[in-house]
Amino acid sequence: MIGVLSDTLDPFYNLALEEYLFRKIEDKDVFLLWRNRPSVVVGCYQNISQEVNLLQLKQKGVPVVRRMSGGGTVYHDLGNVNYSLMKKRNKILEYDDFLLPVIAALQKLGIKAEKNRCSDIAIGGKKISGSAQKVTGERVLHHGTLLYASDLSLLDEITTKNKSIHIQSKASPSAICKVCNISESWEGLGKEGCPFTEVPPIESFMEALMASMGAKPEALALTEAEKAEVERICREKYHSWEWIYGKTPHFSFEKEGIFRGEKIRISYQARKGRIEDFTIQSPYFSEEEVRALFQGQPFSLELFEEKFSDLAGRLKPQDSKEVREVLIGLAL
């Protein structure tokens, strides 16, 4: 098995690299380890607005990335390790063929990892890893997270507390579970078989996990042409609106609030990421005019910020900023 450690913390590039290696290397098993700077990664079939608060993420400087596998939304930071196991599929695709070797590798390091549900790894019933798969022809990509020393309070704030109840959709929802960090639950430190007497830096943990998986580390020596191809995938796919938002399953949205004693109600639908039937019921704006502003527009936080700034700018200066913020809050 080839072992690869990514040397970048860019979530968009790492997903592009993973996809490139998955499609390029067909005759060998690959075990890739990588970390991302703070980011939210959603499953291929999920609705971003249903999973996270886009305004909150912008304020925190946390980007949203869509991966090519299914499954739920996860928060990545530098205390989280991501693994990607790429292998040839058997005639019968068994999830345990990919999950159990990772559990065994963790157990060799003195970590009391256990299978939890069909695709999670836990310690003492608390989740440390979720995983998902992508199958293409005879190859299977199985990838997952490993919470090592993540900011669990921020993870909870971003991915658990901001689920929207205003969206109707058939998109795959994320499951909510109790979680913990490996570094805080590592009972086997200093015991027989464990290579560490105290909690090691995350880089040392990654190297030990690579060895425990039986992967032979190899320098990732991409040619200039191969690097250019990864950059192209990163730029044209993972950074693109078409992939991040255009893949969102059809959904409908409805939310109302009160501004200075007046009810404001916003509703709309989105198909393939584009807004349809946008309606605003408010004493401040013409319903027909607002509908025309949004019809067919590509869904994004930036769209709402731009259009609502234009609308609020028509009001009295002392009202415009407050109205803009209210409208953005009601549209997400």
Bridge partners, 280 (sequence order): 266
Q: Is the pLDDT of residue 172 over 70?
A: no
- Predicted structure pTM score: 0.92
State residue 90's pLDDT score: 78
Report strand pairing: 64-66 vs 39-42. parallel
State percent of the chain over pLDDT 70: 96
Q: Is the pLDDT of residue 226 over 90?
A: yes
What confidence tens digit (pLDDT) does each residue in 115-146 have? 988 889 999 999 999 999 999 988 999 999 99
Q: Is the pLDDT of residue 93 over 90?
A: no
Q: In whole numbers, what is the pLDDT of the chain averaged over residues? A: 92
State residue 317's pLDDT score: 65
Give the contacts of 212 (CB within 8 A, at least 6 positions apart). 105, 106, 108, 109
What confidence tens digit (pLDDT) does each residue in 276-295 have? 999 999 888 888 889 999 99
Residue pair 197/189 in contact by the 8 Å Cβ criterion = yes
Phi and psi, residue 202, nearest 5°: -60, -30
Angle between helices 202-212 and 96-108 (to 10 degrees): 120
Give the contacts of 101 (CB within 8 A, at least 6 positions apart). 85, 213
Angle between helices 301-312 and 287-294 (to 10 degrees): 150
Instruction: Provide mean pLDDT across the span 176-202.
Output: 92
**All domains of the chain in start order, with CATH:** 2-244 (3.30.930.10), 251-331 (3.30.390.50)
What confidence tens digit (pLDDT) does each residue in 318-332 have? 677 888 888 999 998
The pLDDT-based confidence of 95 (bands split at 50, 70, 90) is confident
Q: Is the pLDDT of residue 202 over 90?
A: yes
Q: Is the pLDDT of residue 153 over 90?
A: yes
Chain centre distance of CA 224 = 29
The pLDDT-based confidence of 218 (bands split at 50, 70, 90) is confident
State residue 318's pLDDT score: 67
With 0-12 / 13-18 / 19 or more C-beta atoms within 10 angstroms meaning exposed / middle / buried, residue 223 is exposed
What confidence tens digit (pLDDT) does each residue in 228-268 have? 999 999 999 999 999 999 999 999 999 999 888 889 999 99
Instruction: Provide mean pLDDT across the span 181-201.
Output: 94
For 11, 27, 38, 54, the CA distances from 233, given in Å and listed in that order, are 13, 22, 21, 24
Residue pair 251/166 in contact by the 8 Å Cβ criterion = no
State residue 233's pLDDT score: 98
What confidence tens digit (pLDDT) does each residue in 38-63 have? 999 999 999 998 999 999 999 999 99
